[in-house]
Structure 1
Amino acid sequence: MKSYTAEEVSQHNKADDLWIIVDGKVFDLTKFVSEHPGGKKVLTKVAGKDATKKFKQFHNDAIMERVGLPMQIGVIGDDNSKARL
């Protein structure tokens, strides 16, 4: 899985290019924006940011597994960590 920095994610902060972070995982929600039950405005407020707190307020783990995980594109962190083991 590809690693990203929070700074890289922050560059994807518009409805037509929307990434978020939840629990250290990076999600590309660009194609999901128009389908989100809470509307486009909800997602654009957290675009490019760590949305963990807001996500957990309104969703449970089952939603993440069923809907969220297919949109995961990476993780926050150092992709060289395995090379140091």
Structure 2
Amino acid sequence: MASRHGVELDQDQFCCSVCLDLLKEPVTIYCGHSYCRGCIEGCWDQEEEKGEFSCPQCRETFIPRPVLRRNNMLAEVSSDICA
């Protein structure tokens, strides 16, 4: 566990559910779930032919493929955990 400003952080809360490792280049998709950029792009590359993209956790579908943007808050917290 890491502590910053008196707050206990559990590393498991900042793990990607695809690779099960600490989030690398974290992005959050429209349903609110967060993944490593490479992990979600890899999942969606496999769905490209269908033209329908889904969240690996909740299975919400998206058409067209969502544009991914970096989650700055998760990136900062996960880098603090590694430090």
TM-score normalised to structure 2 length: 0.30
Which structure has more helix as a fraction of its residues? 1
TM-score normalised to structure 1 length: 0.30
Whichever of the two has the greater Rg, that structure is 2
